Structure formats: structure tokens, C-alpha cells
Chain A
């Protein structure tokens, strides 16, 4: 497995390299990072623009800038991915891209982890129940809910959830749910229980929104997978041998039915990180999604590159984990 893993990691390097070249070129031709500065009132002195061009390496050619971004050789010590520097930001001279990503990663992971856990738990439960009660009213209801969730635009659903939260608060006469922010500042000085309820108040609504799409897709996978397993010979044999239904489902059918879902979930995790872009915006969480939007708005090419490389790496790592887990869950698969 170690050799397989190393081989996959090495294989990912050229993929990431090509992706980085492509995205760098696309970002570079997409606009002038200093357009806002040039439009300022009164217009800045030309020497100020020159200073910014120099700081952002805009006085170099595109290939040279890519080389600098990748290696840092010839730069001012603030650039070079291989040296752990993501480059200067257009957002301000003091904006540290690496530091920001590190801070925001924690915020996003908090949201993503909660959404993943709930989405997965509910998807497995719903998928299994749907499969076991195929074509029943319950199955139709869960199917309807799943498709509804799949069809619902995130920003719209987020707005609905915020309104529902406010409505609930008004109903009970207390601020149970918060609609904006991640609650970090409000948690200061609270005891453990206070921090827990504070986190719950701030996390509930965005978590529901973020988990919805994943839950919908995963529950459909789980239902299909479970149906396939329930109709297989070994499950029929287990039943014929007189094993209780609960044991057949839990010990035999469910484990096998989880295998395809594992792949989908691992890959979907990277998708959830991308999905935070809208959710974080609506709920005003300063996570990686908000980082991405801010970078786009500021035409911040190096910050965008950092986000895209992180996102790309997450997809590759998630795929690798999926493949490894697949082998762990299904002993018939060997890593060669």
C-alpha cells in the first residue's frame, strides 16, 4: 500500500503542475489587479502605481511571474510556493495569504466537518430505510425530500433558513439561532457550556444548508447500493439460514453497501469545501469560501492561486483516500 500511495502522490505532481500553469495563465489574462488603484479619486501619483507594480511583480513578464510564484528565486522573499510563500496580495501589503489560509482553514473545517458528519449519518439512515421499504410511502417521501434538496439553490435555501431561524427566535422570545458570523468573538469569556450553546447557535443554520446537497446525493447512492446488496445471493442465504433481519442488515448488507458510498463521500468532501463559498458568504463566516470571493473581488491573483492549489490538492488527496479506503473495506481489492 505504501508503494501504491507514493506512486499516486508522485503521479499527482504533474497534474498539479499543469493545473497551476493553466490557472495562472487564466487568472493573469482575466484583468488588471491594479484597476481599482488606477481609478482612485484623486488618481494616485504614478510613482505609487509603480511601487505597487513592483511589489506585486507586475513589472515582470507572465512566465517570469510564474517562475517566481513557483520557486521564489529572484523574488523579494515573499514569494515562492516551494519555499512556503504564496506571494504578495493586492488586498494590502500586510495581507499574508498563507496566514489567512491557515486561519480560515480551521473555520471552514469546523463547518465542513459538522456538515459531513450529519450529512453522512442522515444519508446512510435515509438510504437504508428507503431501500428496506422500497416503494412504500416512506420511500417516496424520502425520495421526494432528496430530490427537493438536490434541486434547491444554496443561496436561496440559506436565506430561507435564516428567516426560519429568526422566526423561531421570535416565537420563543430568545435568540436561539444566530444568522451572521461564526460566533468566535461571542464565545470569549464563556464557560464550556456557554461555548457549546454559542457554537450551536451559530453553527446550526449554516450546517443544515451545507449538509443538504451532500445528504441528498449520498442518500440516493446509499439507497441504490443497499437495494443491490439486499437482492444479492449472500443476503438471501443469510436470511434462509434464519439469521434475524437486524443482524442481516447490520452485519452483512450495510457493510457491503457502504463501499461505493465511501468513494463518493471522500471525493464529495472536496466538493463540500468548494460548496462553502456561498454558504460562508450568506452566513458571514470568514472561511476559505469567503477568502476565495474576496480574492476574486480584489483581482488577487496570488491569493486565487493559493486557493485553487489548495482546492486541487484536496481533490487529489480525497481521491487517494477514497481509493485506499475502498481497499480497506473490500479485501478483494489489492494495491499494486
Chain B
């Protein structure tokens, strides 16, 4: 009897505690009555408060600063480019693009009512200082700024500031077909930064050492400033940031009272968290079929998936004794079945996938030309591959490919240990076995080192691309480029990729880029597979939100327009 009373008391205490907890919820994501709040996950931890540097230059830092950094324009989800007419007074002006008439010149003029959150007007000086911080150390503006970009900023000879207007003059002989990108959403800094805060803190931005101090300060200090619809009011670089409307924002007023952005590194937690009302959505940088499948089953969630900006490709080491032969390389690429690789990796979650048929341009780009399909490369056509080999003097001895009585290979097939690449390597191994080539799979954990040391015969890895393209061909294929890891050397290609960088219009640059890409296919140097898909999911309580796969900002690209669904 005594024991029973004790048990009953214990049970009652437990029940009371549960009732109290039930009544006084402590869980996250709850909003104060009447407040419009959205919790948007950032899928990793941003390393710094500014994205200009190599360490801070991640999509996570960019997304953390969404709604805070002003920028002059950006690519829209449908692939069109729009200037930011909240920030600009008028569309930027191309003053001169004819190098025979003088240096390449263009200018930006900021809107009259564009101000920072402390009321200070935005001026051309803000852009000038941002470009100085984005340039390489060798440009001489700053001694300690470790900019992650520099390509566009380094072209600049002179910046002339006249109040709201800044005029750029490029170095002699240089043209920039993508000049509008200087301080847009896709630039090194993800936009531009205030200059007046340097002066307020006692730094002279024209002193290279002091500009470096300002650069460090921007990276270390949580922005209390804003030039966009929201400003960061709380948070840190470890857990989350909280954004509230910028009271000085001159554009259309944002419709949310608060946006909380927790940094969540584990995608497997998303399903429970959105079910539990702790988050409203995310745009992860990685593809995860399992998570997508679970999200698809949630009635309150909208899920979308599309081509991301990282594209996978197979590269050959042209300095390998066997792979020096172009015909062997063509046969290898012909034997590889790209559709098999893409389908097995992404077919279940993203059956609408498309193979990538141009190294530089996406399939929906106005500059796109199919340079791959006619070559038969990536088709998995074993018979065609064997025919190429036989014509070149190779012969199959049973299951082994021979040349002059010697076995071809074995070749070392390498990639980092991701699920996608592991599957891909196994398939490539099987495709090559069909034409008598033995490939040994070797997984790596130091991609940069392996590429730099050319420690591979065949390798699969990814490049990230953007709608901007003029610097890519030279970087990928020029014989002097440090990123031409497999050592392609072709004078005609060198000339074409140099011409891409020097073109004064995008059309002209694209023409050269496509010509170069065709020659690269002839050389059978790089075989593009496809863009790795990215997914986005959002709770149906949030309105005016969509993924922008053209931009590092992803879904946060229009954060000022986010609202709660009626």
C-alpha cells in the first residue's frame, strides 16, 4: 500500500511537470504574438563578417549578409540580369568600350536617397574603398587585405569619385565585357561596404596599412551598419544572426519584423526541425537525396531542385605516358557513359537532370552551343570507342587493351570521397573495362594537393561557375594557368582564351569561348558531366520566396520581399 502511494505520487509529480512544460514551451522558433518572424537556416558557419577575403568568401558569409550589403545588380532566377534600382540612380554607363579611342571606361551613379543605416549618404567613395579592398595585394592599395577575388578590381587604373558617381578607367589595353559586375551581388565582396566608418574609426583608407586595419575590422566586427532592407541586430559567427528592418531603408518597406538565421551544419536535422516549427526553410549547398525524399513527404513544405553552380567533370593528365595520345583520350571519353553517371547519382531525386554539353555555358544560357554531343564523347558508345582505338593501332587481347604488345595502363582513377564521386568512379571503372583498360580507384582527401602535383591519370572534381564567364576559359585551359592541372598545351586555345578576357562585349567573348571549348573537346582533355543539383525547401507559411541558383545569395537574393503567407 505504502509503495503504491509512492508510485502514485511520483506519477502525479511527473504529470504535473509535463503539464507545466506543455504550458510553458521553451522551444525555439516561437514568435511573440503579432510579430512576423521567419527562421531561415544557413547550412554552415560563416568564417567572418565580410566576404571579401579568402577565408570569409563563402556562400554562407554572403547569405549571412543578405539584406545588409547594398549591391548594384544581380542575376535573377530566370537567368536575366537586373540592376538594383533601389541603390542606383540610373543604369550604369559604359563610357568607352573601343580601345582604339582610349581606355575602357564606365561609371556608376548611386540613388540620391540611398543612405547607410546611420543616415550617412552612400557615395562613390564607398564603391572605391570596396574595390580597393577587393584587389590583390600586388595592386598596392592595401598591405594585408587577402582578397579572394581581384580579377576585375586588378584591371582598374583609376577611380574618380564625384559625390554619388564613380568613374572607372581600366589599365591600358584592357577591356572588361563584364564590367557591370564590379560591385554587384556576385562580386568579390557580394556588394559594397561603407567607407565613412573607416574615417570614424580613425583609419585613412589611402594608407595601405590603415586600409588593411579597416579590412580586418570589417571581418571581425558584427555589422551594426546596413545598406539594405534589413540590419543585423543580434547574433554571432557561431550560432545565428537576427535581422530586423533597417529604419533608414529608403526602398519598399520589408514585410517581416524579424528574420532569424541559425547556422545548422547537419542536414539530417532539417526534417525534424521544420516539422517541429523550429525552422522555415533552407537552401543547402549540397545535394542530399535522402533529405529531399523526406521533405517531399511533408505536406506543409515546398521543395524545389535545380542545376546548381558546381559542375562535375572528368579530367585527364596529358603528361601520363599513355594519355599523351589524343586518340586514346578520345576513346576513353567516348566509352564513359555520362547519362549512366548522372542518372544513378541524381535520377531518383532530380529526374529532369540535363547533361552539360558546354564547359563554359549552362544549357539555358543565351551563349550556349552544344560542343560535346556531336563528338560522341560521354556517350558510353563502346563500339565507337573500340573503333577509334583500332584505327589508332591499338588491339584488344581478350579483355586487355594492348599497344605494340604492351598493356595500356593500368590508369589511376581518383576523386575525393563523396557519395556522388564514389558512384561515378565505379561506373567509369566499369566503362573503361569495356574497352580493355584497367582503372584503379584511389580516393583522395587533399584535392588541391593532388591536382597541383598532377598525382592522377584520370580525376573527377567540380568547378563552380556563375553566369559570368570571361575569366574561366583562360583559367581552365591556358597553358600558363596554374589551374590547367592536366597540362593542356595548345597555342590556338591559348590565343582564343586570351581573346575572351580581352573582349569588350559579352557576345564577342562568348564566341571566342565557344571556339576554345570546341578545341578542348577535340583534344579530349575535360569531359563535363553535369551540374550538381541543389535543393531548396520552405514552409508554406513564407511567401515571396524562391531559390536563385544563379546567385550565391540563393533564396535570400530577394530577402527584402519575403513575407508571411496570408
Interface residues, chain A, with chain B CB atoms under 8 Å away: 30-32, 34-48, 51-52, 55, 90-95, 100, 103, 159, 162-163, 165-166, 169-170, 172, 174-186, 188, 193-194, 197-202, 281-284, 286, 290, 293-294
Contacts and interface: CB of A to CB of B under 8 A. Distances in A.
B550 interface: no
30 contacts: A32-B448, A35-B449, A37-B54, A37-B448, A40-B57, A44-B146, A44-B148, A47-B136, A48-B146, A55-B146, A92-B47, A92-B56, A95-B47, A162-B269, A166-B272, A169-B276, A175-B29, A175-B278, A176-B22, A177-B276, A179-B273, A180-B264, A181-B239, A185-B239, A185-B240, A185-B242, A197-B20, A197-B24, A197-B26, A282-B268
B362 to A, nearest CB: 15
Given A179-B272, A185-B234, A290-B265, 8 more contacts: A31-B446, A40-B57, A94-B220, A159-B272, A184-B239, A185-B242, A197-B21, A201-B21
Contacts of A175: 25-30, 276-278
Contacts of B452: 38
Say which size band chain B's interface belongs to: 35 or more
Nearest to B450: A35
The residue among B154, B235, B240 with the most chain A CB atoms within 10 A of its own CB is B240
Interface in B247-271: 260, 262, 264-266, 268-269
A186 B28 CA distance: 6
A286 B239 contact: yes
A36 B25 CA distance: 42
Given A179-B273, A197-B24, A199-B26, A42 B137 contact: no
B28 A181 contact: yes
Contacts of A48: 54, 136-137, 146-148, 150
Interface in B96-153: 136-138, 144, 146-151
A90 B29 CA distance: 33
A51 B22 contact: no
B27 A294 contact: no
Nearest to B218: A94
Closest A-B pairs by Cβ, 7 of them:
A35-B448, A175-B27, A201-B26, A198-B26, A45-B136, A92-B47, A92-B55
Interface in B458-479: 463-465, 471-472, 475
Contacts of B449: 31-32, 35
A284 B150 contact: no
Nearest to B41: A180
Contacts of A181: 28, 239-240, 262, 278
B326 interface: no
The residue among A51, A103, A177, A281 with the most chain B CB atoms within 10 A of its own CB is A51
A172 B238 contact: no
A284 B54 contact: no
A260 to B, nearest CB: 30
Given A92-B56, A166-B276, A284-B266, A176 B28 contact: no
B146 A202 contact: no
B216 interface: yes
Given A39-B447, A52-B146, A93-B146, A194 B24 contact: yes
B25 A51 contact: no
A286 B21 CA distance: 25
A284 B276 contact: no
B272 A162 contact: yes
Nearest to B30: A175
